[in-house]
């Protein structure tokens, strides 16, 4: 199995750091047989759909939030996946099952703000957790608001304002999967798929 994860860079070192980080996250979540991880941005969907005959999966940003915590997450799941399959780079004729398409709603940083303790440990003194607030469902927050919360919370720390390529690998590698899943239906869906595929202890 290969997991294609959105968030790549032209810098190979950045991609390597993100691969290791996601591998650590999956390992911390109890993944027994770690799948191969490919970090990609350009042509990611094309690469994924070209290997549809394998049991590969894709994890990408939805870019938009679930409209409210009362919205049926399964209905939102179908809506997001349907939209992805209308993209020009998607080879719809291959009829890839929906359970191989996974989402970070609205973006990868949604999972980061779910785990306040990991953020506090990473940023240390000056981190303002009140800028993020007490969130029960990270998926109802618009992408721009998520990024603003993270930047405002970290701007007065020694590490400085949140920077994706500099900070995200460490944070991802130390996230608590349980904490994130408690606040993210789509993270739970992603890990459940791996569990059913025989990848979890």
Q: Are 29 and 200 in contact (CB under 8 A)?
A: yes
pTM of the model: 0.93
Q: What is the pLDDT along the chain (201 residues), one digit of tens a residue?
A: 899 999 877 788 889 999 999 999 999 999 878 889 999 776 788 888 887 777 789 999 999 999 887 778 999 999 999 998 888 888 765 678 999 999 999 999 999 999 999 999 999 999 999 999 999 999 999 999 999 999 999 999 999 999 999 999 999 999 999 999 999 999 999 999 998 886 544
Q: What is the pLDDT of residue 92?
A: 66
Element (H, E) at 150: helix 143-154
Q: What is the pLDDT of residue 93?
A: 59
Element (H, E) at 16: helix 12-28
Cα 7 → chain centroid: 9
Q: Are 65 and 141 in contact (CB under 8 A)?
A: yes
Q: What is the pLDDT of residue 77?
A: 94
Element (H, E) at 127: none
State how far the Cα of 155 lies from the Cα of 94, in Å rounded to an integer: 45
């Amino acid at each position: 199995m290969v997991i294609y994860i959105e968030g790549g860079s032209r810098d190979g070192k950045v991609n390597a750091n993100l691969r290791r980080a996601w591998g650590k996250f999956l390992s911390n979540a109890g993944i027994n047989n770690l799948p191969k991880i490919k970090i990609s941005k350009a042509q990611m969907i094309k690469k994924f759909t070209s290997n549809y005959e394998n049991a590969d999966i894709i994890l990408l940003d939805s870019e938009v939030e679930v409209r409210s915590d009362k919205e049926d997450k399964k209905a939102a799941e179908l809506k997001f996946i349907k939209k992805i399959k209308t993209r020009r780079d998607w080879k719809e004729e291959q009829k890839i099952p929906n359970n191989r398409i996974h989402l970070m709603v609205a973006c990868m940083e949604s999972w980061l703000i779910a785990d306040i303790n990991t953020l506090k440990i990473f940023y240390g003194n000056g981190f303002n957790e009140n800028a993020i607030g007490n969130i029960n469902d990270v998926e109802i927050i618009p992408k721009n608001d998520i990024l603003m919360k993270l930047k405002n919370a970290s701007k007065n720390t020694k590490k400085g304002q949140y920077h994706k390529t500099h900070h995200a690998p460490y944070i991802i590698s130390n996230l608590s999967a349980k904490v994130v899943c408690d606040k993210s239906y789509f993270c739970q869906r992603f890990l459940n798929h791996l569990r059913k595929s025989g990848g979890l202890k």
